[in-house]
Amino acid sequence: MLVPINWLKEYTKIDVSVDEFCDKMIMSGSNIETAQYFGDGIEKVVVGKVLSIEKHPDADKLVITKIQISNKEEESIQIVTGAKNLFVGAYVPVALHGSKLPGGKSIKKGKLRGIESNGMLCSAGELGFDDKVIPVAHKDGIWILDKEYKLGQDIVDALELKNAVVDFEITPNRPDCLSMIGMARETAATLNGELKYPDTKCEKEEGSAEDYISVEIKNSELCRRYVARVVTDVKIEQSPWWLQKRLIYAGMRPINNIVDITNYVMLEYGQPIHAFDIRNVEDNKIIVDTAEEGEIFTTLDGSERKLTKDMLLIKDGKKGVALAGVMGGLNSEIQEDTGSILIEAANFNGDSIRATSKKLALRTEASSRYEKGIDPNLCETAADRVCKLIEILGAGKAAKGKVDVYPNKIDKHTVSVRVNRVNSVLGINLNVKQMEEIFKSLEMEVLQDGDILKVTPPTIRQDLEEEIDFIEEIARIYGYDKMPVTIPRGNAEAAKSKERSLKDLARDSMVAMGANEVQTYSFVSPKGVDNVRIDEDSWERNFVKLINPLGEENSVMRTILTPNMMEVLGRNYSRNIPSVRAFEIGNTFFKSLDEQQPLPEEYDSMVIAAYGESESFYTLKGMVEELLEKLGIHGATYESESEYGVYHPGRCARIIYKDYELGIMGEIHPDVTEKYGIGVRAYCCELAFDNVMKNSNTERFYSPLPKYPSMTRDIALIVEEEITVAQIENIIKEEGKKLLESVALFDVYRGKPINEGMKSVAFTLVYRSPDKTLTEEEVTKVHNNVLAALKDKINAVLRDM
């Protein structure tokens, strides 16, 4: 909320610099977005008076003016301008030769279409005001000053333009701070000052409000109070500059005196005010009721709006006249010739106003204040203040009294606050008196009852309900910075959970193998599974869908990580990155099969992928094997898979361990790489990381180093192409029995002199006994059995080495 410091000073003393004021307000709980300074950067701009206006001989859109800029008429200067709202006698800001305007612009004399011009007449915009706050009266032209000022006087001094405006960030719990008086209350408490309320009592009142109007509330839940006052003999004109200026600095555009006053009081107290032209209030009646379903009502912005039956509508005897708390009706708008007006200060239910304003997509200053909650006890004072300002401005005569319908008065309430509790929550040690002072500085009444303070806040503080709310008040006014700094008891170091440790271990292992970790969105496009060729009715399509996604590309929760990873590979490939090794560990989501369970199932998944010159199925498999080893999963098997759409049908394996499928890996199907713009072969593995964690065992036991020497035999076998390495290894292990320590593949060869359809596979077999040194005969015996079995079972022929 924009708060001009000079306006604030009307209610309380501010005897510190703006910087210090801001710092102190921040520390007592009024956070500040910005502090802006107006009137800076203006030099040699003075008050001038238009003496004459003549047509420019060579330009239709320009005029030549004589402007008096001192008390001597003969010292006037000639200025050429394109403005249309000038008239002889008007007082205007004149930027002289060599003057400076905000934003660093400087004005020099020159010729416009051949005619000498010795400066510039300024609009409010040129003097640094935002377009949206420039008074209606001169919003498209030169600034016509509101009255006569001393000619030649510096405009900054004449209009008192120098002002600091602080933009407070008001949190939703403090709607009372959405007003100058609310901020003055905070200021007074912060700076130890007094709060002075504005004058609300008119000197003279004529007639009686009740003679003009009656008020009926049909729904007292939605309208807690309605105060009406009446003003007669209204003269609509521009507001004086002092009032305009306050509105402008607070971010509102001056319109005319009556509208400006209603806005002024709204800003001052936080109470929205509406003024009706009483001519258009039929039957002298105001009825607060709900609208008819489908009723059409034209608001004063000229829009026709279709209402629903839960919307509050202010009606007269015959028709709707205002959309309560949101916007007035066009039919009762204040006009140039308005004579008498009705001033409404009412309290409408915030939820109802919010719903109405949301349904109609119409949010106004008034509606947003009602939404946040307003104290109904403000209505009367605010209505009185409007009348007082009308009197001060001479804009009309207030009628005596008011019509005030207030079915259920809101009274102050008292809350017990325990002194010990305050101290024990905050870790401080204030005494009763100090606490009392703080509460009183915020206009609360305090009664002491032993160790208990009975605190009664003003009704404007709707946020103060329980003891903890009062503890917060003590904390912020005492000062967070004055509280001590202590460390809570018991600071033994905590251990990581098993799952977290395993994820960390997996990340560390992948990083050590040269892979970079990526993080991708949990919500994805449902097309991702199409792009990676997942079957039509498979589980990967059991999506959890968002009701309100940002777009289709983020509309479902991911069921697998592979499509996101393909995007990452594609993006990197398109950026000419020659090789990538990457991984991600993240959640996947599935609709729960149990209908009682509102939340989806979430699983941990892990994806590893790579492309680049030195990458192959086997480099990826090497990484997967090493990762599983590190996680304590020994002996996972890889079973050929040719049906899973993501992968090359001849280069894909399911990873099996005990009864679990740990994942699937392979070379990405060429249609998939093409879809993602990956111009080379790519490899990917997605692990069901939950299953990996379930089977992980990171405990380590030492096995003794061998005491006796080993004997090594290398063999090369010629086998049919279809025979897998795993098959051969299994036979070797089975026959090698206890003496075989290890078997390892070291070469696969195809081509001459090996026949077509056959391949040569070479293994190193290591034999060793834990108990003795093996003899040549012992090893040969076993080794021959191995070779015989290979021959017998898969027709493997030993090749000469």
Nearest approach in angstroms of CB 557 to other proteins is: 7
Q: Which stretch binds other proteins (CB under 8 A): 304-312, 382-390, 393-401, 488-496?
A: 488-496
Using the minimum distance from each CB to other proteins, give the nearer residue, 85 or 592: 592
Give the nearest distance from C-beta 489 to other proteins in angstroms: 7
Give the whole-angstrom CA distance, residue 789 versus residue 160.
106
**Residue 610 neighbours by CB under 8 Å, 6+ apart:** 515, 579, 580, 581, 582, 619, 620, 623, 682, 683, 684
Is residue 516 at the binding interface for other proteins, with CB under 8 A as the rule? yes
Dihedral of CA atoms 150, 154, 158, 164 in degrees, nearest 10, equals 180
**H-helix or E-strand containing 516?**
strand 516-517
Contact between 353 and 325 (Cβ < 8 Å): yes
Closer to other proteins by CB, 67 or 471: give it.
471
> Which region, judged by CB under 8 A, interacts with other proteins, from 134-142, 273-281, 325-333, 569-577?
569-577
How deeply is 801 buried, as exposed, middle or buried, from its count of CB atoms within 10 A (0-12, 13-18, 19+)? exposed
Task: Output the smallest distance, CB 629 to other proteins, in A.
Answer: 18
Name residues contacting other proteins, limited to 587-616 (CB under 8 A).
587, 589, 598-600, 602
Cβ atoms of residues 583 and 607 within 8 Å: yes
Number of residues counted as binding other proteins (CB under 8 A): 84
In the list 27, 195, 330, 432, the residue contacting other proteins (rule: CB under 8 A) is 27
Contact with other proteins (CB under 8 A) among 513, 718, 758, 762: 513
Could you tell me the smallest distance in angstroms from the CB atom of residue 504 to other proteins?
8
Q: C-beta of 506: minimal distance to other proteins in Å?
A: 11
Query: In angstroms, what is the minimal distance from the CB of 350 to other proteins?
Result: 8
Query: Which of 159, 387, 518, 560 contacts other proteins by CB under 8 A?
Result: 518
Closer residue to other proteins (CB): 169 or 639: 169
The span from the CA of 346 to the CA of 266, in Å, is 12
Shortest Å distance, C-beta 186 to other proteins: 11
| Element holding 259 (H helix, E strand) | helix 257-269
**Contact by Cβ (8 Å): 532, 575:** no
Cβ count within 10 A of residue 753: 7
486 binds other proteins (CB under 8 A): yes
**Per CB under 8 A, which of residues 123..182 are in contact with other proteins?**
171-174
Taking CB under 8 A as the criterion, the residue among 220, 237, 393, 523 binding other proteins is 523
Q: Which of 361, 494, 593, 705 binds other proteins (CB under 8 A)?
A: 494
Rounded to the nearest whole angstrom, what is the least distance from the CB of residue 572 to other proteins in the complex? 5
Residue 383 to residue 387: CA distance in whole angstroms: 7
Cβ burial of 751 (10 Å; 0-12, 13-18, 19+) is exposed
* Nearer to other proteins (CB atom), residue 100 or residue 507: 507
In the complex, the smallest distance separating the C-beta of residue 136 from other proteins, rounded to whole angstroms, is 32
Site string for other proteins, 535-564 (x = CB under 8 A): ---------xxxxxxx---x--x-------
C-beta atoms surrounding 284 within 10 Å? 14
> Closest CB to other proteins among 132 and 545?
545
Ranges within 466-485 binding other proteins (CB under 8 A): 466, 468-469, 471-472, 475-476, 480-481, 483-485
Query: Cα dihedral sign for 233, 238, 239, 244?
Result: positive
**Per-residue mark of binding to other proteins, 335-354 (x: CB under 8 A):** ---------------xx--x
Cβ 41 to other proteins shortest distance, Å: 20
Taking CB under 8 A as the criterion, the residue among 3, 14, 29, 92 binding other proteins is 29
Contact string (CB under 8 A) for other proteins, positions 665-694, x = contact: ------------------------------
Nearer to other proteins (CB atom), residue 316 or residue 371: 371
Specify whether the backbone of 528 is left (phi greater than 0), alpha (psi in -120 to 50) or beta: alpha
User: Where do the DSSP E strands lie in 658-735?
Assistant: 660-668, 682-688, 711-720
> Hey, which residues between 239 and 268 contact other proteins (CB under 8 A)?
none
Q: What does the block give as tokens for 719?
A: 């086998």
| Tokens 């919010």 sit on residue | 354
Measured CA to CA, the distance from residue 369 to residue 172 in angstroms comes to 11
Q: Is 47 in the site for other proteins (CB under 8 A)?
A: no
β-bridge pairing 797-799 and 711-720 = antiparallel
Least Cα distance to 416 among 395, 447, 380, 440 occurs for 447
Q: How far is the CB of 444 from other proteins (least distance, A)?
A: 17
